[in-house]
Structure 1
Amino acid sequence: MVGREGKHRTKPRGAAPERPGTGLSPAAAESRLRAMDDAFDGFIYICSRDYRIEYMNKRLIERTGRDATGEFCYRVLHERDEVCPWCINDRVFAGETVRWEIQSPKDRRWYSIINTPVRNPDGTLSKQALIRDITDTKRTESDLKHALDRLEHEVEVRTAELQMKNRRLLEEIADRKRAEEALAASEERYRSLIDNIGIGISLISPEMRILELNRQMRTWYPAIDAAEKPVCHRVFNDPPREEICSWCPTVLTLRDGQVHESVTETPSGDGVRNFRIVSSPVLDRDGRVTAAIEMVDDVTEHVRAQQAIAESEARYRAIFETTGTATMIVEEDTTISMVNAEFEKQSGFTKAEVEGKRRWTEFVYGDDLEQMLAFHARRRVDPDSVPRSYEIRFRDRSGRVRNVTMTVSMIPGTRKSVASLVDITARKQSEERLKESERFLTDVIDFLPDATFVIDADGRVIAWNRAMEDMTGVPAGEMIGKGDYEYAMPFYGERRPILIDLALKPDSRYEGTYVSTERQGTVLVGEAYMPALKGGQRYFHGTASILRDSSGNVVGAIESIRDITERRRMEEALRKREEELEHKSRNLEEMNTALRVLLKHREEDKSELEERILSNVKKLVVPYLEKLRKSRLSPEQASYVEILDDHLQDILSPFLRNLGTRHLNLTPKEIQVASLIREGKTSKEIADVLGVSARAVDFHRDNIRIKLGIKNKKANLRSFLLSTF
């Protein structure tokens, strides 16, 4: 068999022989197999037990560049000199169908493979492989996983921040209780409150209605049923409020999509409760705020404790006023005399292992130590001569190094200092990821199929993709950084505002130069004729949109351009064709009108002819027939007269039926009477003509008047018949 490549091709060894009764010749069966082979959108090959290729489909031949029948599969497919370590031939030749996926070391693409054993006509087995490229599917799965990982990380970071603040609050109250003997009586009450503290969470709609409450919130407000979606400021306050609370952070979040925090004064019976609320936005895919999450701490006791210990010891106040996260008190000899719980967490050491036993120098990594020792000494001489905050590398118990911001302050009246450390490792990583994201977005724009470019708020080009280079003939290196409408030159041959500028600043003078424009919010769509573009005169469809930062400030604009010259030509051809069809349609309508007029005249002529024939017969034939009937005739002659009358009636009956149809279904006898009345005959004359009594004629006259609707009306029957028949 000769394939499309012109080479002699043998039938695949795994091909099934023609079954009896199918009615297909070997050539037809082979043609059907060939069609099935071509319809498969991947690669197919069959190999023997000793790895030699027995068959390759057209796509695989095109992929490898040759028909490698008889060669080793591992050499043809993977350019290896030995059997692939991942080969599953043993399983397939044991009779198993194997489905698996692999990333090819040759082109680094992912493939889905189905290997099945195929029995040949001689009883031997071969391995058939069906291979499909699934690289795009794998990349999509990877992108989704990365997005999920980023979301989970953000949730973990936010949860850690809240837990850190709660632990700091717990430690602060506990230490202050121990420091103030005057508050010993209330210490147990405060400790009980802190040990059982929880975080309340509620979901609030843009209409300020409660959508969800967690267990802690339901504990605080057992009477609220979130299923009823009550208004929050009515049910959270006792007595209820009809207007939104003035301190509410949630209304600000719903308005600007930012995180807000406040401490409330919520009426509760005869008193007031204080809640610290952190409100975060819930955004949809388009960045619109759809709800707000409130994270609520009951800080009533904390507020009261702050008021009670407002005049406590200066050292205690300085420590916790300057604490950011992990906090330590350092003696002049660098010994750490006190640490908080967050320091325990970050360092990996307990308080007992650190306080009075370790120096802060043990936690500083690398060459940061020399400068910090200098700061430590100078701070005790002149605190203003050294920085208060700086970044260092912090090493914990396990040897892990993190980036932290250290804030140091001297405790008034002592030689001691208090230092707080904020872990900024995540921020550093986020900054790096942001840079990677910017590089990724630049690559995405560069490979967009439509010609696309971006300008900043000052009108300078910051992106000019490959499609734009192909369209204009201007390399990105020559356009990036240019302003003053330089990007308009390839299109119009002059510097002037174009669609991207009009999206930022509408100008009716220049919008009027476009074939059409349509503004859809911040997006401007337009079509334009480009006379000066490389390659000749063209029509283009452009879409320009304003770019904003997370705060809503305008930072630039982006425009994508698509060549629609061919589409416009097709539309023009279609318009001309429609005009031709419309012209032909009008001609057909005129012809139809003329035909209808002709048909109407024909029907009128036909009716007139029928009535004329009927009238002539009745005037010129029927009277003489009646005279013959009344004359002295022999029986034979009378019989001929009757036959002549019957035949005459048969000849006239179609005309009489048409006449009756036009006139209320009159009977044949009534039609005869009506016709004679139209001729001016009296009832007696009609009776003589029809051979009936005058009373019978009067009876028919009455029926005719009834059917014509002129019974009991002052209307002459003959005149009416003349006007209608």
Structure 2
Amino acid sequence: MDGLTTLRVIRRPRALNKFIADNSLGREDEQRRKSYEKRYRVMAEHQADVVCCWLPDTTLTFVNEAYCRLTGKSETELLGRPWLSLIPPDAREEVRVFYEALAAAPRVCLYEHEVTGADGRTVLMQWIDAPIFDEAGDLLEFQSTGRDITAHRKALMDLQDSEERFRTFMSHLPALAFIKDERSRVLFTNRAMNELMGSENWVGRDALQNLPEEVAAKILEQDRQVIEGGKPVLIEEAIPVKSGETRIFETRKFPIGREGKPPLLGAIALDVTEKRRAEEALLASEERYRLLAEASRDFIFVLDRDDRFVYVNSASENVTGKKPAELIGRKRASLDVPPEMLARQKEANETVFAGGEPLSVEGQFLMGKGGRPAWHNVTLVPLKNGSGEVHALLGVARDVTESRERAQRLEEANVALKVLLRHREEDRRELEERFLTNFRKLIMPSLEKLRKTGLTPRQAAYVDVVEMNVRKVFSASGAAAGLVQASLTPIETRIVAFIREDKTNKEIGSLLNLSPRTVEYYRDRIRKKLGLKGKNVSLRSYLYSLS
């Protein structure tokens, strides 16, 4: 009953009941009664289980030694006392109702209830209650045989709690988990496996019934090796899932030993598909970058925090004179460069390690061909681990010695060119001054004489124009350059020339067939282009200042 061994019911013989009731029995019958009584008592006393007899009102008529030990009371204290008083108060009413019903309809039954034990603790007892009838079929009393199931019930509840914790844990485990028997038949699958594999109906079936044959055959062989070998294994396998996609799993299978029974097989599988794809992509990327690094003419290297080369590309031989095998695993000092170069490079490296930011420096860090110091532009990039700490740095060193020498030669050429241009400017000014001197000595006196010959106003104006244009031809001064930079129109340029000759608006208009108002408009535009708008500066004075 309920997984327990059925307890033996010890019944008092009906003949004994008759002997007890019949006072007219003779000595022979009395001896027979005593013999039955003794035999019954011996059987009851030697029972490991608790035995008692009681009337329908729960008054005890017989208790064995086990019953006395259970309650902590003697036989004298118990007989004639209702056993219902030994029930804990909070459970007493429920027990009373049950046994009243049993007394009304006597039958053999199995019942569990609590009893207050000898030390005051509550004991859970399982009872087999059997009615005893007289020869007329009337109920005389009940015989109860009980067993302490407190520990058993606690163990059962602990087992249920353990199973519940196990199922809760498994249902929230992100990995796939399952258990198989010794024949590789599925006994349990967790929620993650059900969702991914659709394994709700796999229980009781093996891999051949759940997966493609070629996949199932490998799985069954692995299961067999674990069961027979008795050791856990870690395998990687590709298995189709419910969606039809094939995923990669890292599965740990292990035996679960059982005393006296064949071992079970447990397994936890992690879906590593994305991890493997990422690793493959990383390897492909690393290979591409390695090929790029090896093809580069720049010296590319990786240094760890101990100042050791973790990687150098093949350009190391051309740049440093050493092959990669001679540098990898060795410290930077193995480059055989002067201490001051090592110190400069170390300072830059420590800056990157400390700050965690890329750095670009240029200087003499390595020796070039012929054993002379070479100039390199070095870019240092920090390499960080998963926690964000800089564990190494990537360096790219480009030899810029030739470009620096070219730049130096170009700078020297520029200096020489500037000296040459300065001399050319001095020659130009000297020539200009010579032309101006000749203009003043040879042409200006003739023009002055011409003005004194009684010219008409128009003729005098033309003489002025001639003088102005001659001045323009012989003057290569900064005034012309300044006016050109002002982007003057041809008409504005002519008006500027007349203004410099101190002509009025009326005179300029007469010479250019313009009204004085129009000349004033052009003067205003010229001031604006020369940046004189809103300034208290005479246009004529400004134009003379450019000379």
Q: TM-score, normalised by structure 2?
A: 0.42
Q: TM-score, normalised by structure 1?
A: 0.33
Larger relative CO (CA 8 A, sep 6+): 1 or 2? 2
In terms of fraction of residues, the more helix-rich structure is: 2
